[in-house]
Amino acid sequence: MLGVDEDEPENPKEGEPGMRLAILFSVLSIRLRFYIAVCLMVSGGVQASELHWSPDAEAAFLKGGQVYANGSTRDALDAWMICLQEGESAAIHHNLGVAHYRMGATGRALWHLERADRMGFMHPDTQNALRYLRQINGIEELKLGLLEQLALLLPEDVWSWIAVGSFWLSVFCWSAYAGLLRRRARYRDVGILTLLTVIVCVTAWVGIVQDSHRGVVWAGDADLKVSPTTQSESLITLQDGSYARLLRTLNQHVYVEAADGTRGWLKDESFRTFRAAL
């Protein structure tokens, strides 16, 4: 049992707004307070996993699995693309990545698998497929900064839920603290913790912005050129599936940095960032 803080006035004014809010929450049970906090966090963002397909899309998803199991990869791709048109999900991108790998399209396979990895919770099947595909093709991965590593710990939607939920929980805690509620130290400590959580989420979003420049050569081998023209001299040829970081765009070309540090220009249709829409 916590005691009253020494800096708490003995006779707070019950008519103050902060005091009314504090009295309201003080009569609630601990379980109900926790439930309210959870509701605030859930209402903080749109849950991407609750993706509702039309009956046609659901039928296409099942058909894709059936024809893929029977060896008809092209028909499976067509079926799963119908699902993708109604909304993205980690499962669809994973299936498309594996199917593209079977078709020999390494770049497209890596793009879909990386996309699935960013939408899911580090699913081991997706991460194993990524490691295997990079290993057998000798593809060097880009080095990640600390903020990018933080951003990839959770899907970007989850960072949003945590940030918004923590913000409103912090507002409540500091309102209760300002309302001269008993056991103010408890609300102060939770308020500080939730503010720190918001800061971490904002930092993660900075990492997400940095990660949005990472991508892959996804339409076959591509020549990395000195300037953004078709007649320009070629520096090196990047194989299908090579990782690169987008630096800027110009004249339907993208200026990128390859995994080995070489910088040059690619045609924009041959390169796609992992967070770009299909």
Q: What percent of the chain has pLDDT over 70?
A: 78
pLDDT band per the 50, 70, 90 thresholds, residue 11: very low
Q: How far apart are CA 271 and CA 219, in angstroms?
A: 7
pLDDT digits (tens, 9 = 90+) for 197-246: 889 888 998 999 988 999 999 988 999 999 998 888 999 999 999 999 99
SS3 205: helix
SS3 273: strand
**DSSP string computed for 150-161:** HHTTS-HHHHHH
Classify residue 184 as exposed, middle or buried by CB count within 10 Å of its CB (0-12, 13-18, 19+).
buried
In this prediction, residue 216 carries a pLDDT of 95
Rg (CA), the chain: 25
In this prediction, residue 226 carries a pLDDT of 93
DSSP E strand boundaries for the chain = 214-217, 222-225, 234-238, 243-250, 253-258, 263-267, 271-273
Interval 172-201 mean pLDDT: 77
In this prediction, residue 107 carries a pLDDT of 94
Interval 45-52 mean pLDDT: 47
Query: CA 267: distance to chain centroid?
Result: 27
Task: Quote the pTM value.
Answer: 0.74
Task: Reply yes or no on whether the pLDDT at 45 is more than 80.
Answer: no
pLDDT digits (tens, 9 = 90+) for 134-167: 999 999 988 888 889 888 888 878 888 888 888 8
pLDDT band per the 50, 70, 90 thresholds, residue 95: very high
In this prediction, residue 178 carries a pLDDT of 73
**DSSP string computed for 87-139:** ---HHHHHHHHHHHHHHT-HHHHHHHHHHHHHHTT--HHHHHHHHHHHHHHTP
CB within 8 Å of 196: residues ≥ 6 apart:
none
Task: Reply yes or no on whether the pLDDT at 129 is more than 60.
Answer: yes
Q: How far apart are CA 130 and CA 137, in angstroms?
A: 11
Classify residue 68 as exposed, middle or buried by CB count within 10 Å of its CB (0-12, 13-18, 19+).
buried
The tokens for 92 are 């669809």
pLDDT digits (tens, 9 = 90+) for 104-116: 999 999 999 999 9
CA atoms within 13 A on the CB side of 174: 11
Task: Reply yes or no on whether the pLDDT at 23 is more than 60.
Answer: no
In this prediction, residue 180 carries a pLDDT of 57
The tokens for 23 are 């009295």
Q: Tell me how crowded residue 131 is: count the other CB atoms within 10 A of its CB.
A: 12
pLDDT band per the 50, 70, 90 thresholds, residue 262: very high
Q: CA distances (Å), 159 to each of 38, 42, 147, 165, 230, in order?
A: 15, 12, 13, 10, 42
